[in-house]
Amino acid sequence: MEMVKSSKGRKGQKGRQPSHEVSFKRRVAKEYLEGDRSTTQLSAMFNVPHQTISRWAKQFSCELAEEVINFPMTEQEQKDIELLKKQNEALKKKLEYEQMKNFALETMVDLAKSELGIDLRKNSGAKQPKE
């Protein structure tokens, strides 16, 4: 007599079979994450408890986020990006210039205090020393 192995889970208990295909779960999760329907609305639509939809959305959210489709840019978008790159470079150069200018002014203020005894960092209403 040949023994047939039954598909039993841990400790001899029969395991529960998944009731929905992964593709269905992913589709419902995507519908929730990318659509404008609530879990309650989708629950009625797909006959699945709303808590389950929330769990699936959490389970597949990272995976679905990686599926972002990159569409080719239009000619106008490419021109806009080139313009933005040029503006960015110009702003970087201007920032560098302003930082050097600020450093020079700070150095002048320090020199005025140490060499001439004039503290320019005091309140604007402070009296200047008499000559």
Residues 6+ apart with CB under 8 A from 48: 20, 28, 42
Identify the pLDDT of residue 79: 95
Identify the pLDDT of residue 87: 97
- Are 15 and 8 a contacting pair, CB within 8 Å? yes
Which segments in the chain show pLDDT lower than 70? 1-18, 65-70, 123-131
Identify the pLDDT of residue 1: 47
**Ramachandran assignment for 47, one of left (phi > 0), alpha (psi -120 to 50 degrees), beta (any other):** left
Identify the pLDDT of residue 66: 66
pTM to 2 decimals?
0.40
